[in-house]
């Protein structure tokens, strides 16, 4: 299946020589997902949950079947724990706003880390008049300092919000170490799973987080769609943070009552075609096999890591142990943006800059770096071409 995987991605028909190493930002789009969205808009479209006519009722069923598909994919207790948002970022903002209204008290602490994407920092800043933000350190390899994080958990800690997999180093967080201490204080945990979910099997029942977010566009799926898993306890406890159609039970001019469960968090017309498109992306991943994807990408990342690490002029941020899919680095005396422009001329796409992780960059006293990130459409030939191109640039600059 993986041998002919590029045939499933239409971009390679137009750009057969493209080496795409920016999957951590957003994955390329698989044909079945594109077709399902096209068919939805072309032949099936109507608003959902409201119309009793055939077009609406059939699309409503497809939409809710997609919720089941997402639930099965991450092994959540029920599809009713799945909340659709416009992005994973919105999912975290939803949680931060709801907790601020319904849970946090003055001087409560939210524990994050210096490894986080800005999407798991800024939403807490927006409610920081009520809470104190405490950040766990990272070590000199760019990994989470578990000892420091655990020492910072105390009776004032009311939430731990941590990435499952770093978008800078690809390191995977060991939540077993964290949960043992968190459980002693009955502290809820929010996990940013945007980077991990496309690459590794996720079992929500086994992990048992309070909140878990990820995004569709990194799953070879559509943009404009995020997924928030919320446990039953919090679904029942929290009140909505935005209102409108779909989430109401009854509305007067001066007051409203809301639906129960996940529905109270899905105000307005949802991203209908995108949700249906995500289901097709998940079907594609299930067809290939998430275990096969993880094994293939881990081997490919290790192959690239060893080739890059052998060059003394390149500094890699992160250590290949519990890591996959991502390698970030800098080349001595080469600005990362100059590197990206050079590689672009050779049809190689990488990401450069601070990657929405400025605390990480400040830890290493750099303004940014270059990041290559692999997907299932990448090959060892891609890696060889990439490494040879790096060597070509260095020789040119000598």
Tens-digit pLDDT profile for residues 17-68:
999 999 999 999 999 999 999 999 999 999 999 889 999 999 999 999 999 9
Query: Phi/psi of residue 138, each to 5°?
Result: -115, 155
pLDDT of residue 202: 97
262 shares a domain with 150: yes
Task: Return the pLDDT at 128.
Answer: 83
**How many independent structural domains does the chain possess?**
2
Q: ∠ CA(389), CA(390), CA(395), 5° rounding?
A: 95
Looking at the structure, tell me whether residues 37 and 13 fall in a common domain. Answer: no
Residue holding tokens 């250590």? 319
pLDDT one-digit tens code per residue, 346-382: 999 999 999 999 999 999 999 999 999 999 999 999 9
| DSSP alpha helix (H) spans, the chain | 11-14, 31-39, 54-74, 88-102, 122-125, 146-151, 175-184, 204-207, 232-237, 272-288, 290-309, 336-345, 358-363, 380-397
Please give the DSSP secondary-structure letter assigned to residue 3. G
pLDDT in the model for residue 398 = 53
152 and 198 both lie in a single domain: yes
**Tens-digit pLDDT profile for residues 54-112:** 999 999 999 999 999 999 999 999 999 999 999 999 999 999 999 999 899 988 999 99
Across 368-397, average pLDDT? 93
Same domain, 9 and 149: no
Q: Rounded to whole angstroms, how far apart are CA atoms 355 and 348?
A: 18
Tell me: pLDDT of 396 over 80: no
Domain coverage including residue 263? 33-287
Same structural domain, 279 and 294 = no
Looking at the fold, whether 109 and 166 belong to one and the same domain comes out as yes
Task: Give Cα 324 to chain centroid, integer Å.
Answer: 14
Domain with 261 in it: what CATH number? 3.40.640.10
**DSSP bridge pairs for 353:** 369
- Per-residue pLDDT, averaged over 236-257, amounts to 88
Domain end: 266, 287, 308, which one?
287
Q: Are 170 and 181 in contact (CB under 8 A)?
A: no
pLDDT of residue 1: 54
Q: Please give the C-alpha separations between residue 103 and each of 50, 188, 300, in angstroms, as whole numbers.
A: 33, 11, 44
Whether the per-residue pLDDT at 394 is higher than 90: the answer is no
98 tagged catalytic: no
Same domain, 112 and 257: yes
Q: Do 276 and 389 share a domain, yes or no?
A: no
Record the pTM: 0.96
pLDDT at 127: 92
116, burial (CB in 10 Å: exposed 0-12, middle 13-18, buried 19+):
buried
pLDDT tens track for 130-170: 899 999 999 988 899 999 999 999 999 999 999 999 999 99
pLDDT, tens only, 255-298: 898 888 899 999 999 999 999 999 999 999 999 999 999 999 99
pLDDT at 274: 98
- For 164-193, how does the pLDDT look when each residue is reduced to its tens digit (9 = 90+)? 999 999 999 999 889 888 988 999 999 999
Among 287, 308, 329, give the residue marking a domain's end. Answer: 287
Q: Which of 40, 98, 194, 356 is catalytic?
A: 356
**What residues have CB less than 8 Å from 335, skipping those under 6 apart?**
none
Give the list of residues 6+ apart from residue 92 with CB closer than 8 angstroms, or none.
Answer: 119, 120, 123, 161, 190, 192, 213
> How distant, in Å, are the alpha carbons of 31, 88, 222, 292, 313 from that of 217?
14, 10, 5, 20, 34
Window from 6-15, 294-303, 317-326 with minimum mean pLDDT: 317-326
- Residue 18 belongs to a domain with what CATH number? 3.90.1150.10
- Give the 3-state secondary structure of residue 363: helix
Domain finish residue from 244, 259, 287: 287
pLDDT for the residue numbered 20: 98
Residue 389 and residue 252 in one domain:
no
134 and 258 together in one domain: yes
Express each pLDDT in 310-342 by its tens digit: 988 999 998 878 889 999 999 998 999 999 999
Same domain for 294 and 359, yes or no, is: yes
Q: Clarify whether residues 73 and 178 are in a common domain.
A: yes
- The phi, psi pair for 24, rounded to 5°, reads -65, -30
């Amino acid at each position: 299946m993986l041998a002919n995987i590029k045939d499933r991605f239409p971009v390679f028909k137009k750009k057969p020589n493209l080496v795409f190493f920016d999957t951590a930002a957003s994955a390329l789009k698989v044909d079945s997902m594109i077709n399902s969205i096209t068919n939805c808009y072309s032949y099936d479209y109507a608003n959902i949950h409201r119309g009793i006519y055939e077009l609406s009722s059939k699309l409503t069923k497809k939409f809710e079947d997609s919720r089941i598909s997402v639930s099965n994919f991450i092994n959540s207790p029920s599809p009713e724990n799945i909340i659709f948002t416009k992005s994973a970022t919105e999912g975290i903002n939803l949680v931060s706003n709801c907790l601020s209204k319904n849970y946090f008290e003055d001087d409560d602490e939210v524990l994050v880390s210096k490894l986080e994407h800005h999407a798991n920092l800024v939403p807490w800043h927006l409610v920081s008049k009520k809470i104190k933000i405490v950040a766990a350190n990272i070590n000199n390899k760019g990994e989470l300092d578990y000892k420091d994080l655990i020492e910072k958990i105390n009776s004032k800690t009311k939430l731990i919000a941590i990435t499952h997999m770093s978008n800078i180093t690809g390191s995977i967080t060991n939540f077993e170490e964290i949960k043992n201490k968190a459980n002693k204080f009955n502290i809820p945990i929010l996990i940013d799973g945007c980077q991990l979910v496309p690459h590794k099997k996720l079992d929500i029942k086994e992990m048992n987080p309070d909140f878990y977010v990820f995004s569709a566009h990194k799953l070879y799926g559509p943009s404009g769609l995020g997924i928030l898993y919320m446990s039953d306890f919090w679904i029942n406890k929290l009140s909505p943070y935005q209102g409108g159609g779909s989430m109401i039970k009854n509305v007067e001019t001066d007051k409203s009552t809301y639906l129960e469960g996940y529905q109270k968090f899905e105000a307005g017309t949802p991203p209908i075609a995108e949700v249906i498109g995500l289901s097709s992306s998940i079907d594609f991943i299930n067809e290939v096999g998430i275990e096969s994807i993880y094994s293939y990408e881990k081997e490919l990342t290790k192959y690239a890591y060893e080739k890059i690490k052998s060059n003394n002029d390149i500094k890699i941020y992160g250590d290949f142990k519990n890591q996959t899919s991502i390698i970030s680095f800098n080349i001595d005396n080469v600005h990362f943006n100059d590197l990206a422009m050079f590689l672009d001329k050779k049809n190689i796409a990488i990401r450069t800059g601070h990657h929405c992780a400025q605390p990480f960059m400040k830890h290493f006293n750099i303004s940014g770096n270059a990041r290559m990130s692999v997907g299932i459409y990448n090959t060892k030939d891609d890696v060889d071409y990439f490494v040879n191109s790096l060597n070509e640039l260095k020789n040119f600059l000598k």
